[in-house]
Chain A
Amino acid sequence: MTSRTINAKNMHYTPLNKRIKELVKTGVQEIVLENVLGQRFIANGLRGKVTIHIHGVPGGDLGMFMSGPTCIVHGNCEHAPGNTMAKGKIAIHGSAGDAVAHSMRGGKIFVRDNIGYRGGIHMKEYGDNPAVLIVGGLAQAFLGEYMAGGKIIVLGSGSDRAVDGREIGSGIHGGEIIVRGDVDEKQLGVGAITEDFGKEDLDAIKPLILEFCESFSLDPKQYLDTKYTRIVPASSRPFAGKYTWE
């Protein structure tokens, strides 16, 4: 496997991304970015099979519109990693800010620790590659707001409340939010309801949990039971019946 390292110290994001695109074009399969400090838009709109190791803290919109590559962040992330992403994977060895996976259509985002507000907002799915967001730690309010498809899983490690905030799934009209432990009725947003989480549900998410744990060398056993709450849309047509004709 051909690998290249870029020292991103004091580098503006545009030349950095240009360099990444050039390397990918020449068939490099692994790129290591050292000393990343707040550069936005890394791997933005990038295609291909490359794996990018990011050491440091990337700025906002990491992997926006990305279609294929894998980004492994050895550190925390700013807001909206995986914004409108189509394919590929982002694994964050740390926490991420607000609006993680915003409008993401496909691919996977794994966050080892916590995420901020509005995680998975307006997430979607299309074809056989539904968007997946898995959070190892906690998520804040407005999780899965306006969700239109895909899967959000919050494991809540180290806490008995994976999501403490309110308005979970407000306006949700597709997809599902799976939260470890209990969720209070009053934490749900308009249009969201809870459903029992059964054995088949566990079977359905098991491969994802295994993949997540493998990414961060965690023991999956602790997550392989049915102590989850499943949040789904009350209706796939939240606005039907709201209008009359002129």
Chain B
Amino acid sequence: MSLGSIPMRYRVKIDREQCMECMRCIDNCSYGVFREENGKIHIDSRNCTVCHRCISMCPRDAIDLHERPVDYRSHPLWTPEAREDIINQARGGKIILSGMGNAKPYPVIFDRLVLDACQVTNPSIDPLREPMELRTYIGKKPKQLHITKNEAGDLELETELSPNLKLDTPIMIGHMSYGAISLNAQLSLAKAAAKVGTYMGTGEGGLHEHLHPYQNNMIVQVASGRFGVDIDYLERGAAIEIKIGQGAKPGIGGHLPGEKVCADISCTRMIPQGSDAISPAPHHDIYSIEDLAQLVRSLKEATNWEKPVFVKIAAVHNTAAIAAGIARSSADAVVIDGFRGGTGAAPKVFRDNVGIPIEAAIASVDQKLHDQGIRNKLSVIASGGIRNSADIAKAIALGADAVYIGTAALVSMGCRVCGNCYRGLCPWGIATQREDLVQRLDPEIESEHVANLINSWTLELSEIMGAAGINSIESLRSNRSRLRGYMLDEGTLEVLEVKPVGA
């Protein structure tokens, strides 16, 4: 017997009195919800992904969209999702693919941390009239400086400094590859990074020549597939990042299906057109922390030790120990990607169940590195689910040097976090390679939006710092006494090394 159809997830309706029949919804929906028949707009709600493209483009606010228009018998365990996943898998025997970050309602630690502000005993600082230092350097810092006086009596620095990236704001844009997102999306991000004086990651998709003008603001990624990696690519990047893991899918690799490998992507990834681009779960030359050190040194050797090398790992149970190993490998920074990190495609079971929250991972890594006296050897970059400037301030107070934003940057270009990126039909021109959709995204305009977002968060950060009487981001870093936990359990407070509210 057939399993029948599952209830539709969303219902789209048009208020026919409001509608002026401009047909823009038909043009805008790439999922085929709307069609015209005999001059009338017909709706197939089942195709809807809640990307909100139609709603945002409707000149009359005539479109109504509702989630779960049909109820199940309510049950706290057998949620509609649990039931529907089973039906889906009973039909095909397949792994469920999903997009964007973890969609389970785990408590958000950021939302249970509150920031401190000055009252009476030490004055707050007004960022309008006092200089606020948000400049951030990513890379190794010397343990001590040796300074000598030369014959003319001038001081000279004897200590050799490691290469560092200079950021005007502690906010960077994380790695999203060409392939996962469109070239126009990458261009928008790159232009924005250059505008605000920060960096963005290439992801494992090579570096398209249109991005070469922005290479001084780009961090090139070396992942297990080694796609697009050659000496030219390594030399172009301002820094190199080895990707070991990703928060949305710790422990597994990824692949770009052959149908997405068009001529342009084939050329940046350096693989034949139409062939699957498979990134294995491990790097096949890294089976130990010593092997990782060898890859770090190999990349440095190839680029004359002129560039910082980052290592990105997913936040997992023993992240702190791994980070301590990375600190001994010649790497300059560790990127920790929490379990809320976004992705174009990940098996749902991984996205929703594997990994740990970024808040706990940063705190434990920072503490471990401090305990071992090697915090100066490694910058810590936090990513995965950063939604606003408060999250950034909290991440830095927990021990991060800087953050990567991903989803937030996409939302500033139109993304509505519909989570259907893996279908390649993104109506916002972001997670798609379909030319007509990609054209919807104008890098001039979108780079402005992304830059605006980073600028507003940077402004808010200086206000938050000022209110706490802090005038330099360095003084906020690892400064957990400026945080309090609200309704967090004792165990978590201990890991975070944060006191409860009132204490």
Chain A residues with CB under 8 Å of chain B are: 13-14, 17-18, 21, 40-41, 44-45, 47, 60-61, 64-67, 79-80, 83-84, 86, 99, 102-103, 105, 118, 121-122, 124-127, 145-146, 148-149, 171, 173-174, 236-246
A44-B298, A44-B301, A243-B97 known; A86 and B231 CB under 8 Å? yes
Tell me which residues from 106 to 155 in chain B have a Cβ below 8 Å from any Cβ of chain A: none
* Cβ–Cβ < 8 Å partners of B205 in chain A: none
Stretch at the interface among B40-48, B268-276, B319-327, B335-343: B268-276
A45-B302, A67-B231, A103-B226 known; A174 and B285 CB under 8 Å? no
A122-B225, A173-B278 known; A40 and B284 CB under 8 Å? no
Check A126–B270 contact: CB distance below 8 A: yes
Known contacts A66-B231, A99-B285, A102-B284; 7 further A-B pairs (Cβ under 8 A): A13-B301, A44-B298, A60-B294, A65-B234, A118-B284, A122-B225, A148-B276
Judge whether B175 is part of the interface by a CB distance below 8 angstroms.
Answer: no
Check B97–A244 contact: CB distance below 8 A: yes
Sampled A-B contacts (17; CB under 8 Å): A14-B305, A41-B302, A61-B294, A64-B298, A65-B231, A67-B232, A79-B285, A84-B229, A103-B226, A118-B284, A149-B272, A149-B275, A236-B274, A240-B258, A243-B95, A244-B89, A244-B92
Check A244–B95 contact: CB distance below 8 A: yes
Chain B residues with CB under 8 Å of chain A are: 88-89, 91-92, 94-99, 224-226, 229-232, 234-235, 255, 257-258, 266, 270-272, 274-276, 278, 280, 284-285, 294, 297-298, 301-305, 347-348, 419, 422-423
Check A243–B294 contact: CB distance below 8 A: no
* Cβ–Cβ < 8 Å partners of B278 in chain A: 146, 148, 171, 173, 238-239
Check B276–A236 contact: CB distance below 8 A: yes
**How far, in whole Å, are A121 and B225 apart by their CA atoms in the complex?**
11
Q: Which residue of B lies closest to A83 (CB)?
A: B285
A103-B284, A246-B348, A246-B419 known; A239 and B272 CB under 8 Å? no
Cβ distance B38 to chain A, nearest Cβ, rounded Å:
32
A45-B234, A86-B231 known; A246 and B98 CB under 8 Å? yes
**How far, in whole Å, are A239 and B278 apart by their CA atoms in the complex?**
9
* Cβ–Cβ < 8 Å partners of A60 in chain B: 294
**How far, in whole Å, are A246 and B276 apart by their CA atoms in the complex?**
21
**How far, in whole Å, are A60 and B285 apart by their CA atoms in the complex?**
10
Residue of B224, B226, B235, B255 ringed by the most chain A CB atoms within 10 A: B226
Q: Which residue of B lies closest to A145 (CB)?
A: B284
**How far, in whole Å, are A102 and B285 apart by their CA atoms in the complex?**
8
Contact of B280 among A65, A80, A146 (CB under 8 A): A146
Contact of A45 among B91, B95, B271, B301 (CB under 8 A): B301
* Cβ–Cβ < 8 Å partners of B303 in chain A: 45
A86-B230, A237-B258, A244-B97 known; A124 and B270 CB under 8 Å? yes
* Cβ–Cβ < 8 Å partners of A171 in chain B: 278, 280
Q: Which residue of B lies closest to A64 (CB)?
A: B298
Lowest 4 A-B CB distances belong to which pairs? A45-B302, A244-B94, A103-B226, A126-B270
Check A17–B272 contact: CB distance below 8 A: no
Cβ distance B41 to chain A, nearest Cβ, rounded Å:
26
Cβ distance A127 to chain B, nearest Cβ, rounded Å:
8
Cβ distance B28 to chain A, nearest Cβ, rounded Å:
21
Check A126–B271 contact: CB distance below 8 A: yes
* Cβ–Cβ < 8 Å partners of B88 in chain A: 244
Check A121–B284 contact: CB distance below 8 A: yes
* Cβ–Cβ < 8 Å partners of B302 in chain A: 41, 44-45, 64-65
Q: Which residue of B lies closest to A174 (CB)?
A: B275
Cβ distance A58 to chain B, nearest Cβ, rounded Å:
13
* Cβ–Cβ < 8 Å partners of A241 in chain B: 94
**How far, in whole Å, are A171 and B7 apart by their CA atoms in the complex?**
38
**How far, in whole Å, are A237 and B261 apart by their CA atoms in the complex?**
12
* Cβ–Cβ < 8 Å partners of A242 in chain B: 94-95
A86-B230, A246-B99 known; A236 and B258 CB under 8 Å? yes
Check A40–B272 contact: CB distance below 8 A: no
* Cβ–Cβ < 8 Å partners of A243 in chain B: 94-97, 347
Check A245–B423 contact: CB distance below 8 A: yes
**How far, in whole Å, are A174 and B277 apart by their CA atoms in the complex?**
10
* Cβ–Cβ < 8 Å partners of B229 in chain A: 65, 84, 103
Cβ distance B342 to chain A, nearest Cβ, rounded Å:
14
Check B284–A122 contact: CB distance below 8 A: yes
**How far, in whole Å, are A78 and B297 apart by their CA atoms in the complex?**
16
**How far, in whole Å, are A64 and B300 apart by their CA atoms in the complex?**
12
* Cβ–Cβ < 8 Å partners of B94 in chain A: 241-244
Check A99–B284 contact: CB distance below 8 A: yes
Cβ distance A156 to chain B, nearest Cβ, rounded Å:
23
Q: Which residue of B lies closest to A60 (CB)?
A: B294
Contact of A105 among B230, B274, B275, B305 (CB under 8 A): B230
Q: Which residue of B lies closest to A87 (CB)?
A: B230
Contact of A122 among B231, B280, B305, B419 (CB under 8 A): B280
**How far, in whole Å, are A40 and B266 apart by their CA atoms in the complex?**
31
Check A14–B301 contact: CB distance below 8 A: yes
Residue of A148, A239, A240 ringed by the most chain B CB atoms within 10 A: A148
* Cβ–Cβ < 8 Å partners of B271 in chain A: 124-126, 148-149
Contact of B226 among A122, A239, A240 (CB under 8 A): A122
